[in-house]
Structure 1
């Protein structure tokens, strides 16, 4: 599919590689949309290994770093046996997200919404904050879950296993965002929460649910779409850090989100910036080689 996409969109930067190997710059994209992989395993990525995140949570964490402040993340994630990102008892991943993002809204789809997908899925919408949130003073309610089922199971060896099923507080407070009937059923690994299909057109239900999600995204300036475009403005180089200087054909540019603009300063100051940029680039190259 990646090779097909390259043929269909030759001007797009399409990488056929694992997300952990993709070298996209931080604070660059306006929006990230994806259907993340799900599983009870982790991805090796030095930058995120210390957070000990499962693969689906890792995709959220890295996506947050790639969008700019005010950027939006819209992800489909399976709720799964272990409760997925939103329902599991362990709030570590949600705390990580809450420090960096605001929740715009979430929609829970019933099982079977996607072909060959029997488990329920969530569509989660987040917006990246300008500053990280202090969770000790401001803990969003959706970070927490509520126990909705408890039961004991006696194994053949006499050992008693205590089973607990939790649900995210957001869905408890917003049942209109659950597009099915939720029940606790006995699964392969014990009780689990499922979302069963109900009568009605799922597409219309989804359209209605999404209408409840409120949010705005600021225009960062798609100058190429404007009639009075300044010819000196160029698309941002992904390799240039946002809000920093760079050299293009011996001209000093300043990157701001998706574009780079030539800097208008005195010649003496421009020469000083050029020298500092060259020193910075040389230092970064030495670090990379080492």
Structure 2
């Protein structure tokens, strides 16, 4: 309702994400939210009964569902930007989710936010991440950063943390110490001493840097997709030629020649 008052000229729907029409797939320039996180399953038969194991798993956790469903909705070259719990990136069980994300998108930016970011406004010190993806369903192999993002690293004291986000330069903080998360599990606790303004300044600088390094302009994205399509066509033609050659060989009679 607040959004409707702020933007009266826009069409606002108040409904579950699973209720969005399949006709909206590949339609949005931007999908963004501070998404929910819990063990709540989502009733979306297109996911829970999918032949894709990642979609089936995503339907069992609302935060994982939001990532894959959001990528379904965003158009080629469009952006998905979520603030989410650290479990999406850290959990070993979510490696299949992260791999599915990056099979259809490029990692533009991923930063670990300080635990005290929402303390003044929401009264919580839950760890969270900002993850920005650019849809590219025709993409090639993962780059080294993306491979690290898909992996979970085991740190000292039994901590499990995303391999990429375990590196200090990918964390927005002024202090870091070993502690526990909201569930009592060993975890790094990051804090920032300069308040929301200081955090926002660092996040902005990091995002600008990452966009310069990893964001594909619409023109570049289109060229990349065209190149991939051409390569697929060439490979398809090669396979067809190989199949024809094999069939011809099968029809021939071979005579063994004694040496």
Query: Would you say same fold, with TM above 0.5?
Result: yes
The answer to whether the aligner puts 1:166 opposite 2:173 as a matched pair is no
Q: TM-score, normalised by structure 2?
A: 0.68
**Structure 2 alignment gaps of length 5 or more:** 51-55, 220-259
CA-to-aligned-CA distance 1:13-66 (integer Å, 9 cap, x gap):
210111111226111111111110011222111111142221111001111011
CA-to-aligned-CA distance 1:223-264 (integer Å, 9 cap, x gap):
xxxxxxxxxxxxxxxxxxxxxxxxxxxxxxxxxxxxxxxxxx
Structure 1 residues 19 and 143: CA distance shift in structure 2, 3 A: same
Instruction: Output the CA distance in 2 between the equivalents of 1:12 and 1:217.
Output: 26
CA contact (8 A) 2:176 2:191 kept: no
Question: Any residues of structure 2 matched to 1:100-249 within 5 Å, and which?
Answer: 100-114=104-118, 115=121, 116-131=123-138, 140-150=147-157, 164-173=158-167, 175-180=168-173, 181-187=175-181, 189-200=183-194, 201-214=198-211, 215-218=215-218
The answer to whether the aligner puts 1:19 opposite 2:23 as a matched pair is no
Shift of 1:189: 4.1
CA contact (8 A) 2:126 2:181 kept: no
Count of matched residue pairs: 197
CA contact (8 A) 1:104 1:126 kept: yes
Question: What secondary structure does 2:38 align onto?
Answer: coil
Question: What secondary structure does 2:185 align onto?
Answer: strand
Which of the numbers 67, 73, 79 marks the counterpart of 1:72? 79
Question: What secondary structure does 2:204 align onto?
Answer: helix
The answer to whether the aligner puts 1:89 opposite 2:116 as a matched pair is no
CA-to-aligned-CA distance 1:60-110 (integer Å, 9 cap, x gap):
11110111111111100022xxxx110111212111111111111111111
Shift of 1:216: 3.4
Question: What secondary structure does 1:209 align onto?
Answer: helix
* Structure with greater helix share of residues: 2
Structure 1 residues 130 and 99: CA distance shift in structure 2, 3 A: closer
Question: What secondary structure does 1:43 align onto?
Answer: coil
Instruction: Output the CA distance in 1 between the equivalents of 2:3 and 2:202.
Output: 31
What is the aligned partner in structure 2 of residue 229 from structure 1? none
Instruction: Output the CA distance in 2 between the equivalents of 1:9 and 1:202.
Output: 28
Instruction: Output the CA distance in 1 between the equivalents of 2:85 and 2:137.
Output: 28
Which of the numbers 58, 61, 74 marks the counterpart of 2:65? 58
Q: What is the alpha-carbon root mean square deviation over aligned residues? A: 2.4
CA contact (8 A) 2:180 2:189 kept: no
